[in-house]
Copies of this chain bind each other. A is one copy, B any other.
């Protein structure tokens, strides 16, 4: 009667603590295709500022989902890649990617229709 109570209400809740930031799911998915340099990531995730992108990358690294490799070259060259842990998460993310692909048209229609509102996306804990 001790470890039964978690700070999370369920597994999903826990997962959201790791990927519940605006660009994290996208970053992870992109890295799932292949390791990428900072610049590539920036172009892929487009719309994320340097500050936010780096901030997310650091958190992902701190959470053991990705690894940063600094080649110590000049000019600078850094590469980000998934850890096995991160890969397992990306695998779990796949269904959502597929679901989105399959229903993209529908989703897009309703979202565009309803006056292109921004999008929030906050989440529990972290």
Contact = CB atoms under 8 A, between A and B. Distances in A.
Interface of A: 6-23, 25-26, 29, 44-47, 62-64, 85, 88-89, 91-104, 106-108, 110-112, 114, 117-126
A126 B119 contact: yes
A114 B23 CA distance: 20
A44 B16 CA distance: 16
A44 B7 CA distance: 14
Contact of A119 (B44, B88, B125): B125
Contact of A62 (B20, B110, B121, B125): B110
Copies in the complex: 2
A110 B92 CA distance: 20
A15 B121 contact: no
A19 B100 CA distance: 11
27 contacts: A6-B104, A7-B111, A7-B112, A8-B107, A10-B97, A10-B101, A11-B101, A13-B100, A14-B100, A14-B107, A15-B97, A16-B25, A16-B100, A20-B119, A21-B121, A21-B122, A22-B123, A22-B124, A23-B124, A85-B103, A88-B99, A91-B95, A92-B98, A92-B99, A118-B126, A119-B125, A119-B126
